[in-house]
């Protein structure tokens, strides 16, 4: 599967919690890293998704928020991954930042150039990537 989104992660479905309309899907990525997605119950059925299945999580880089020193942050986003900034590509309007979160997983974010400057991001420095569970698309082969 090829997609235009910068963030694609392979994992194993570790839990599915169904609600009235939506379900929470927990994936375990390489390195044991948990990732949470919220998708419709219809999508669960259409994908034939069950605990133990292999699945992909897809997140657009523009849906990722970056911050620093957020290990103990109390926010509503379910996915907060802190790690080491691996790459920064600066542009006059936007900056692309890759954060290595462990297990060989890298989260890419596209943020404004001004935000990157204000955060003082540097390669080798600490950064946290944040995205909502509803920003995750689940796919299966």
Class of domain 7-59+134-139: mainly beta
Give the pLDDT confidence of 1-25 residue by residue, as tens digits.
Answer: 789 999 999 999 999 999 999 999 9
Distances (CA, A) of 29 to 46, 86, 120: 22, 19, 29
Q: Quick check: do 7-59+134-139 and 62-130 share a fold?
A: yes
The CATH code of domain 62-130 reads 2.40.50.100
Q: Residue ranges of the domains in the chain?
A: 7-59+134-139, 62-130
Q: What is the pTM of this model?
A: 0.93
């Amino acid at each position: 599967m090829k997609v235009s989104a910068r963030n694609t992660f392979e994992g194993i479905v570790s839990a599915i919690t169904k609600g009235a309309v939506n379900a929470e899907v927990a994936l375990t990525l390489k390195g044991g890293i948990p990732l949470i997605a919220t998708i419709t119950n219809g999508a669960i059925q259409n994908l034939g998704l069950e605990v133990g299945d292999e699945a992909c999580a897809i997140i657009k880089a523009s849906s990722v928020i970056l911050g620093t020193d957020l290990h103990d942050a109390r926010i509503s986003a379910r996915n907060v991954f802190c790690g080491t900034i691996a790459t920064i590509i600066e542009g006059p309007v936007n900056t692309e930042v890759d954060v290595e979160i462990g297990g060989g997983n890298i989260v890419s974010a596209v943020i404004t150039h001004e935000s990157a400057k204000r955060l003082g991001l540097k390669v080798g420095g600490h950064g946290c990537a944040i995205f909502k569970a509803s920003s995750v698309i689940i796919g299966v082969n």
